[in-house]
């Protein structure tokens, strides 16, 4: 490890729920603060379909967890208030936060829509001591943007991210290599980055229950039970080892994408498609905002063994349409996924071109043209009258649109603004 490095990890507390609440309060200061009551961002409460994308602290105390079904969450917490997601609003707050963070260092890596790494090594001397600077960042975000974040401080990305989870909300936490034995090793193995429930259960069967157990374990044993690549990764992470740099954004902007790491493995097609719907909404809005289109779509999966797979294809014509991205992603998923439980789902668009001209497609049907025109009209209405003026039905009734989207196969395609992708 490079002890001279100084890395901050910024993590928005209950991001989607916080941003939804801040937005509602900006429209009506007398509105109920969703953060103070049992509430969640998810699908349609009337149909009880969809999954929980974010929950408030009171909802968490009732046992509600991210990625569980709405029906399950309502059984745990009957008084739960559920509101639909609005990813364009959340993306706006994410950009505001990144703009603020850019005042502290040019070396920023957007880890997901609600997380970012800052390499403060070369700029910390301009602002003060690390803890004081972290507290200043938290206070500015709370006062200027009206939501709260946690800040983790360390000498590498892994430990900084682990630190940011120690105590919430609105806290600064540190975790340096010398603190690993006392602060990290006693934690359950499930708390280690990229160790899911299935892996933790498998390790428990051979007597490994804490992060310290994995750190002290013979790497050969871990490789035998988890596979060579994943076993080595778990052993390195358990010992706090990570040499990955904070990667700045690609100035050439070769693609637009988003991914989400789920706290529970997903193994059914409908739930995976619901996740792809949320990702398609985010990516589509970003493409339209940037006035660009993509010619290629990729769906990416990472399973519980840390194994990655993806499927990709070129579109018949460039697009910025959420519905086309979603239809394409679902078809691709159907083509290559064998239902192995997955922990991360991503959607990536590449072969980007500016919206300077459009080649007329002889194969584009009237429905596709109408959908694309509708989405542009919705963007224009929202821009003029606000996000609440028009809401996409896809986020209100996933149960009807998922089979509809899968059945439409005219637009074939393939495959951290994070809920959001979390991957080194």
Scanning 261-319, the segments in alpha helix (DSSP H) are: 269-290
371 three-state secondary structure? helix
Q: Which residues contact 339 (CB under 8 A, 6 or more apart)?
A: 267, 268, 269
The C-alpha atoms of residue 205 and residue 203 are separated, in whole angstroms, by 5
**Strands (DSSP E) found in 248-341:** 256-266, 292-303, 308-319
From the list 392, 405, 334, the residue with the least C-alpha distance to 43 is 392
Cβ–Cβ under 8 Å, residues 13 and 150: yes
220 three-state secondary structure? helix
Cβ–Cβ under 8 Å, residues 203 and 189: yes
Q: Which of 109, 115, 300, 398 is catalytic?
A: 115
Which stretch of DSSP H or E encloses residue 354? strand 342-354
Q: How far apart are the first and last CA of the chain?
A: 16
Q: Name the CA radius of gyration of the chain, rounded.
A: 22
| DSSP label at residue 323 | H
The contacts found for 398-405 with CB under 8 angstroms, 24 or more apart, are: 398/43, 398/44, 398/49, 398/50, 398/274, 398/277, 399/44, 399/47, 399/49, 399/50, 401/277, 402/270, 402/273, 402/274, 402/277, 402/330, 405/273, 405/277, 405/323, 405/326, 405/327, 405/330
In terms of phi and psi (left: phi > 0; alpha: psi -120 to 50; beta: otherwise), the region of 33 is beta
User: Rounded to the nearest 10 degrees, how much is the dihedral formed by the CA atoms of 382, 386, 391, 395?
Assistant: 100
Q: Is 115 in the active site? A: yes
Cβ–Cβ under 8 Å, residues 79 and 92: no
The set of catalytic residues is 115
């Amino acid at each position: 490890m490079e002890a001279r490095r100084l890395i901050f990890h910024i993590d928005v507390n209950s991001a989607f729920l916080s941003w939804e609440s801040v937005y509602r309060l900006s429209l009506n200061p007398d509105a109920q603060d969703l953060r103070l009551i049992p509430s969640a961002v998810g699908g349609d409460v009337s149909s009880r379909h969809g999954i929980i994308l974010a929950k408030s602290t009171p909802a968490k105390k009732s046992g509600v967890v991210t990625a569980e079904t709405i029906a399950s969450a309502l059984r745990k917490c009957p008084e739960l208030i559920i509101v639909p997601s609005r990813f364009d609003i959340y993306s706006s707050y994410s950009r505001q936060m990144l703009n603020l963070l850019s005042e502290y260092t040019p070396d920023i890596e957007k880890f997901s829509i609600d997380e970012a790494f800052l390499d403060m090594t070369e700029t910390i001397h301009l602002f003060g001591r690390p803890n004081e600077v972290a507290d200043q960042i938290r206070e500015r975000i709370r006062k200027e943007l009206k939501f709260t974040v946690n800040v983790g401080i360390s000498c590498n990305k892994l430990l900084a991210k682990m630190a940011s989870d120690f105590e919430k909300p609105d806290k600064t936490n540190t975790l340096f290599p010398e603190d690993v034995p006392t602060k990290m090793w006693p934690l359950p193995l499930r708390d280690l980055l990229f160790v899911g429930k299935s892996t933790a259960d498998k390790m428990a069967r051979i007597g490994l229950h804490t992060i310290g157990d994995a750190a002290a374990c013979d790497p050969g044993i871990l490789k035998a039970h988890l596979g060579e690549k994943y076993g080595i990764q778990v052993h390195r992470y358990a010992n706090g080892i990570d040499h990955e740099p904070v990667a700045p954004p690609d100035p050439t902007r070769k693609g637009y994408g988003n991914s989400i790491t789920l706290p529970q493995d997903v193994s059914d097609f409908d739930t995976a498609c619901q996740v792809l719907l949320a990702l398609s909404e985010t990516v589509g809005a970003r493409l339209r905002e940037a006035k660009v289109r993509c010619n290629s779509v990729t769906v990416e999966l990472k399973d519980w063994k840390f194994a990655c797979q993806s499927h990709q294809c070129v579109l018949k014509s460039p697009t910025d349409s959420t519905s086309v991205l979603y239809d394409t992603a679902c078809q691709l998923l159907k083509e290559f996924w064998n239902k192995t439980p997955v922990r991360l789902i991503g959607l990536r668009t590449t072969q980007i071109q500016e919206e300077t001209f459009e080649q007329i497609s002889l194969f584009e049907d009237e429905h596709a043209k109408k959908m694309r025109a509708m989405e542009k009209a919705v963007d224009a209405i929202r821009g003029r009258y606000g996000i609440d003026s028009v809401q996409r039905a896809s986020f209100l009734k996933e149960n009807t649109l998922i089979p509809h989207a899968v059945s439409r196969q005219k637009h074939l395609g393939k495959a951290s603004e994070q809920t959001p992708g979390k991957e080194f």
